[in-house]
């Protein structure tokens, strides 16, 4: 089965999303593939998204991890996103990071590990959020990735 | 799910350049997906 695929999803309000799973090549080989997951709203019909839609989106991602021995990589980009109430103060990338973590905490994700990586630079553009999710059996691989991040930071 | 956090404050220039590349690649991916939306949601 190919590791790369695109899953279309339509929310209850009619919003159309594409979820892409794509092999990510960071320039270093690890024992399992790193898969970049992207979630894109391609057609907006409703301003708000229901919690059940977000839950469904997280289930699609969760199912992919269960079916494939990979490390899932999610970069939280800084493209504007609708944030309501107390979330208006958050940067778009910070909001995406919280949402992603929150959703995975709501589903039955026992047996999975998440490594949240945050870089805090001086400007908003230099604040980055990354999530890595994989099975607990791949804990050593997550540790290897973290070591590589430290190596880059030490350059 | 067990979550760990690695927080690097005042990242090096090399790390910021690396992160910028990740952001650019993500933006390219999203633009490509938007351009292909009709493949997955054919217009009625």
- B26 to chain A, any CB pair closer than 8 A? The answer is yes
pLDDT of residue B39: 95
pLDDT of residue A49: 72
pLDDT of residue A151: 95
* b/e map A96-123, b = 16+ CB within 10 Å: bbebbbebbeeeebeebbbbbbbbebee
Is A55 in contact with A100 (CB distance < 8 Å)?
A: no
What's the pLDDT tens digit per position in A76-114?
A: 998 888 777 888 888 999 999 988 888 777 777 788 999
Q: Which of B2, B39, B28, B12 is nearest to A38 (CA)?
A: B28
- A79, closest residue in chain B (CA to CA): B27
- B35 to chain A, any CB pair closer than 8 A? The answer is no
Those of residues 88-147 in A touching chain B at CB distance below 8 A are 101, 104-105, 109-110, 112-122, 126, 128, 130, 133, 136, 142, 146
N-term to C-term CA, chain A? 38
pLDDT of residue A1: 67
Task: Say whether A24 sits in a helix, a strand or coil.
Answer: strand
What's the pLDDT tens digit per position in A32-71?
A: 999 999 999 998 887 777 788 888 988 899 999 999 999 9
- B19 to chain A, any CB pair closer than 8 A? The answer is yes
Query: Cβ-count burial of A58 within 10 angstroms (0-12 exposed, 13-18 middle, 19+ buried)?
Result: buried
Residue A68 DSSP one-character state: S
Average pLDDT score over residue span B3-27 = 95
If pLDDT is split at 50, 70 and 90, which confidence band does A118 have? Answer: very high
CA distances from A119 to A46, A94, B16 (A): 33, 11, 8
| ipTM, 2 dp | 0.92
pTM (two decimals): 0.91
What's the pLDDT tens digit per position in A13-33?
A: 899 999 999 999 888 889 999
């Amino acid at each position: 089965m190919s590791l790369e695929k695109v899953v279309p999803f339509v929310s209850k309000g009619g919003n159309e999303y594409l979820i892409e799973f794509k092999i990510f090549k960071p320039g270093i080989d690890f024992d399992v593939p790193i898969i970049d997951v992207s979630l894109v709203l391609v057609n907006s019909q409703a301003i708000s998204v229901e919690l059940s839609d977000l839950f469904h989106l997280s289930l699609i991602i969760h199912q992919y991890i269960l079916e494939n021995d990979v490390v899932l990589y999610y970069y939280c980009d800084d493209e504007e996103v609708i944030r309501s109430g107390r979330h208006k103060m958050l940067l778009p990338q910070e909001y995406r990071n919280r949402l992603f973590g929150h959703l995975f905490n709501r589903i039955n994700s026992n047996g999975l590990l998440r490594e949240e990586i945050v870089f805090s630079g001086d400007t908003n553009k230099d604040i980055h959020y990354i999530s890595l999710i994989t099975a607990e059996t791949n804990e050593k691989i997550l540790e290897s990735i973290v070591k590589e991040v430290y190596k880059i930071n030490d350059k | 799910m067990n979550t760990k956090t690695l927080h690097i404050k005042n990242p090096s220039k090399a790390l910021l350049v690396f992160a910028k590349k990740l952001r650019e690649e993500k933006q390219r991916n999203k633009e490509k997906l938007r351009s292909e939306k009709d493949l997955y949601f054919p217009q009625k």
